[in-house]
Amino acid sequence: MATRDPIRMFRDYLRRKGLRCTAERDEIVQALQRTSHHFRVEDVVADLAARGSSASRATVYRTVPLLVEAGLLCVGDALPGGEFTYEFVHGRDHHDHLCCLRCHERIEFAERGIELLQIDVARHHGYRLVGHHLDLFGICPKCQALEQGGG
């Protein structure tokens, strides 16, 4: 397994960018590993606070964009109020998402057929495909039921 330590990956990224490796940044990455797979920034803040970490809310907010750029996080969908969800993508197989517009349930799926067609599209345009980002939006079964019941 080539799964590398995410803390190390982030440090490598920071060094490449001439930024500094700090205890706070390490702690934030550790928090990502403890937090649920799909999470909000506030979840990380809460986790750190509960552990008595020295990393503050502001530092978390300042670090998240770096983590996204480093490839450790993906931006997910938005919650009412404009808050974002993120996904910790380190060391996991690629997958796409099916999201409920109502309750924001987030189902992961991998569809070989779609990926193959993507390769076709890229090739048709002469592109060498590197990656993709696919979100499907819809209404989940539960919310559909509520709808008919009189939601």
Partner DNA sequence: GTGGCTGCAAAGAATTTGCAAAGGG
Partner DNA sequence: CCCTTTGCAAATTCTTTGCAGCCAC
Residues binding DNA: number (CB under 7 A): 26
Burial of 29 (0-12, 13-18, 19+ CB in 10 A): buried
Residue 2 sits at φ, ψ, to 5 deg, of -90, 10
CA dist 129 and 24 (Å) reads 36
**Plot region of 91 (φ>0 → left; ψ -120 to 50 → alpha; else → beta):** left
Residue 109 sits at φ, ψ, to 5 deg, of -150, 160
Which of a copy of itself, DNA, none does residue 117 bind to, with CB < 5 to 8 Å depending on kind?
a copy of itself
One of 77, 104, 106, 146 touching a copy of itself (CB under 8 A): 77
User: Is 58 near DNA (CB under 7 A)?
Assistant: yes
33 versus 127: smaller Cβ distance to a copy of itself? 127
Which of DNA, a copy of itself, none does residue 46 bind to, with CB < 5 to 8 Å depending on kind?
none
Residue 63 sits at φ, ψ, to 5 deg, of -90, -30
Q: Taking the complex as a whole, how short is the minimal distance between the CB of residue 104 and DNA, in angstroms? A: 12
Q: Taking the complex as a whole, how short is the minimal distance between the CB of residue 58 and a copy of itself, in angstroms? A: 14
Q: What is the dihedral of CA 76, 63, 66, 38, to 10 degrees?
A: -20
Residues making contact with a copy of itself (CB under 8 A): 17, 65, 68-69, 75, 77-78, 82-84, 98, 100-101, 107, 109, 111, 113-114, 117-118, 120-122, 125-141, 144, 147
Residues making contact with DNA (CB under 7 A): 14-15, 19-25, 40-42, 54-59, 61-63, 80-84
